[in-house]
Amino acid sequence: MFTGIVTDIGEVREVEARAEGLTRLTIACGYDPGGIALGASIACSGVCLTVVARGQDGNRAWFAVDAAAETLRLTTVGRWRQDARINLERALKVGDELGGHIVAGHVDGIATLTARENLPDMARLVFRLPADLSRFVAAKGSVAIDGVSLTVNEVADATFSVLIIPHTLAVTTLCALAVGDVANVEVDLMARYAARLLDRR
């Protein structure tokens, strides 16, 4: 589990295609390599991936993860190339501060940025969701975009807007998003379960 509070921005160092649709990605980061356990979960732009190797190259740590065909198909991971910058968050520990909202790292789909307004002290971003996800997003509710916990500002049909404060722009990759870019989206867990209960009725 995660909180949607990004703790580092990593860079993709290598993308290696492997057998049976598996892709191995090596990601440079600012974490202490001694504190990254094999088998640990790290949210990479919102996608929960398992560490299969780690080490250090000069003054920069790195870790490797494997992405299966389903992950490559349903998320932006399949579009990552060398030098791509991605948001990173280590898994939540018992007792940690829950600064954002509960994020599972199970991406629901890909959203497209349809509008961006750079305001004096923040940015207003408008995303279009796949039609089957729009019912899970509500004004003042929570959503994770590329692993960043955000509060929904307005909702209109299959689009929603968020306001990004200067700190979030400075410490995440959202600052670089341009109209037409895509991002991983995870809807709020409670909204998903509430909808499931209503469907069963």
Active-site residues, by number, are: 2, 41, 48, 50, 68, 106, 151
State the burial class of residue 185 (Cβ atoms within 10 Å of its Cβ: 0-12, 13-18, 19+): buried
Residue located via tokens 């867990």:
189
Tell me the DSSP string of 5-40: ---EEEEEEEEEE-GGG-EEEEEEESS-GGG--TT-
- How far is Cα 184 from Cα 110, in angstroms, rounded to an integer? 5
Looking at residue 91, its amino acid is: A
C-alpha of 76 from chain center: 9
- How far is Cα 88 from Cα 28, in angstroms, rounded to an integer? 10
Give strand ranges (E) for the chain. Answer: 8-17, 23-29, 41-44, 47-57, 60-67, 85-90, 109-118, 123-128, 142-145, 148-156, 159-164, 182-187
